[in-house]
Amino acid sequence: MSQGYRVAVLGATGAVGTELLELLEERNFPLAALKLLASERSAGKKLSFKGENLLVEAVSETALENLDLVLASAGGAISQIWASKAVEKGAVVIDNSSAFRMNPEVPLIVPEVNPEAAINHKGIIANPNCTTILMSVGIYPLHKVKPIKRIVVATYQSASGAGARAMSEVKNQSLDILAGKEPVTEVFPYPLAFNLFPHNSPLNSAGYCEEEMKMVNENAQNF
């Protein structure tokens, strides 16, 4: 890793963080240095990258020094605390949480749709919700031919969207249910194994949950 960018993955031990590491390796991203950042609880762990075991550090202002790029996937609350600090230290932050998606000062980018908007960043670039990305990539070519007025969407999201603990919870719930036991819930409000329920919030007055409104609001930002 002698040439390229100095990169940090914030939330490196989470489900998304580990996927980011795999993508950086798979795509041979040009790295001068790679730093793995997470909570104090995860500090000291080691993760494999290109045959090396890299040490996970606790995120701090010192840990954010001398970086070109921070890939943040540790959740909105963490990004609200640390993204601006990383920018103050000189890094560009690409944030995968919901923290900045509706901030008019932060470009919300889907590379296949509006890559040119990224040049107007002020240190932070937001990544839309997963359903927003997938839908916009599919409909944008059609929208350019003839503007789309109305879209009907059904989306079913997996436990992985809530992170590694949620994935483990669904696995354990499945085993309990198949064994005739009562499933235990800690991450989700209801048992998710063999089940569906509205995503992460009560329905609003129009009958939509928060996840559905993300698709409405974020696509309005993109288009």
Encode pLDDT of 18-28 as tens digits. 999 999 999 99
Of the two residues 215 and 220, the one the predictor is more confident about is: 215
**What are the distances in angstroms from CA 155 to CA 11, 29, 37, 196, 214?**
26, 32, 32, 11, 12
Q: Is 138 exposed, middle or buried (0-12, 13-18, 19+ CB in 10 A)?
A: exposed
Question: What does the pLDDT read at residue 220?
Answer: 78
Quick check: helix, strand or coil at residue 54?
Answer: strand
Domain 5-99 carries which CATH code? 3.40.50.720
Question: What does the pLDDT read at residue 223?
Answer: 61
Question: What does the pLDDT read at residue 207?
Answer: 84
Question: What does the pLDDT read at residue 1?
Answer: 45
Q: Beta 69-72 vs 52-58: how paired, if at all?
A: unpaired
Encode pLDDT of 169-194 as tens digits. 999 999 999 999 999 999 988 999 99
Torsion of CA 39, 210, 165, 81, to 10 degrees: 0
Residues in Cβ contact with 223 at an 8 Å cutoff, skipping those fewer than 6 apart: 113, 136, 140, 143
Query: Does residue 142 surpass a pLDDT of 70?
Result: yes
When pLDDT is cut at 50, 70 and 90, the band that residue 199 belongs to is: low
Question: What does the pLDDT read at residue 57?
Answer: 96
Q: Return the percentage of the chain with pLDDT > 90, whole number.
A: 71
Average pLDDT over residues 137-144: 91
Query: Does residue 2 surpass a pLDDT of 80?
Result: no
Average pLDDT over residues 47-64: 95
User: DSSP string spanning 103-134?
Assistant: -TTS-B--TTT-GGGGGG-SSEEE---HHHHH
Candidates 62, 53, 85, 74; CA nearest to 9 is 74
When pLDDT is cut at 50, 70 and 90, the band that residue 158 belongs to is: confident
Average pLDDT over residues 130-159: 89
Encode pLDDT of 64-115 as tens digits. 999 999 999 998 999 999 999 999 999 999 999 999 999 999 999 999 999 9
Strand partners, 108: 126
When pLDDT is cut at 50, 70 and 90, the band that residue 146 belongs to is: very high
Domain ranges of the chain: 5-99
